[in-house]
Amino acid sequence: MTSNSPRENPVPTDQPPGVDPSAIGRILLIAPSWVGDLVMATPAIRALARHFEDAELTALVRPVGADVLEHNPHIAGFVIADRRGRGPESGNGRQLGRLLRRSNFDLAVILPNSFHAALIAWRARAGHRVGYVGQWRSPLLTVRLPRPRENGKVVPINMVDRYLRLCWAVGCEDLSRAEELFASDEDRANAASVLESAGVAPGDRLAVLIPGASFGPAKQWGAAKFARVGDGLIERYGMRVIAHVGPGEGAIGDALAAASRRGVIVPPPKTIDLKVLKPMIERAELVISNDTGPRHYAVAYDIPNVAILGPTSRRYIDVNLDRTALLQADVPCGPCQRRVCPDDHACMDQITPEQVLAAAASLGIS
């Protein structure tokens, strides 16, 4: 287990190019698509809002992004694109460009790495467009950052720091790494209702399992092993254990429920959506998860969590780990970044339920 302080400076110490805050009235933030990346973008959102304190920040998100970032006080409004990141209604990129141009954005901060994301900012005609080079993006940008390198080679870095570097490039000084999420009273009431319906009393100790991963099956540790961990938490600590099962993960939930001997609670898919999940994890004492987006909710709410990593490099999430235990097997083929394992899935199969329970204990669970 490693840790990185939110107070450490995650960016170079030389003088950034900067953008005159007095010239910025409207900011377009082009947000990432993945849930975990959205949570890891919250330090950058806060940094921009505080530096450009007189500006209005609008976030361009896909539908899932609005659920994750809703109620963030640093965001004045959302433009919600379709699942492909194109027009909100027609699915046409040019239509989205026309919509954004009407807002006369002075600054666009482009968090995703794709050419398409940079093209959106260019079509919006934002006065300043900051992003990383690569993917033929340079002509579309006005403030260009080189991709992080070590010994001349492009390397992954955690997404919190990657996004904060863009903020540094436009002059932001408050670069705290602390991630944050916000829930409404309605979200909290809905979460309480789900727990009450499941028989979880307000004073019960609660653990949340996240056995799915939308990235692909290579990231999934296995429903039966999650069931064994849930049973262990019930037996050792008297916890109530509930599983978050996302859309399309019904088979995972069914397998987990069937394998549990001690009554791990598995509500049907969509019962706990991404909005309800926020106050539920805030209420929890422990989260155990695959390397998947909702795990970052635990980081944002400072909840002890165990992350089971398979094919993904830990460098992408190696930040804010004070209350996180990362488990990853050392295998010759990993980390491969594949969505589907072409071999024996050794990176996941070598991690046992006993190791996961021991990792939870190492976080102070008793």
Average pLDDT of the chain, as a whole number: 91
How many angstroms separate the CA atoms of 94 and 86, rounded? 8
Answer whether residue 3 shows pLDDT above 70.
no
Selection from 172, 243, 241 nearest residue 29 by Cα: 172
Answer whether residue 10 shows pLDDT above 80.
no
Give all domains of the chain, ordered by start, each with its CATH number: 21-169 (3.40.50.2000), 185-362 (3.40.50.2000)
Q: Are 215 and 36 in contact (CB under 8 A)?
A: no
- pLDDT average, residue stretch 19-38: 95
Alpha helices in 248-288 (DSSP H): 250-259, 274-283
pLDDT tens-digit readout, 199-251: 999 999 999 999 998 888 889 899 999 999 999 999 999 999 999 999 999 99
pLDDT tens-digit readout, 75-94: 999 999 876 666 665 567 78
Q: Are 123 and 102 in contact (CB under 8 A)?
A: no
Q: Checking DSSP bridges between strand 149-150 and strand 153-154, what pairing results, if any? A: antiparallel
pLDDT tens-digit readout, 167-186: 999 999 999 999 999 999 99
pLDDT tens-digit readout, 280-328: 999 999 999 999 999 999 999 999 999 999 888 889 999 999 999 999 9
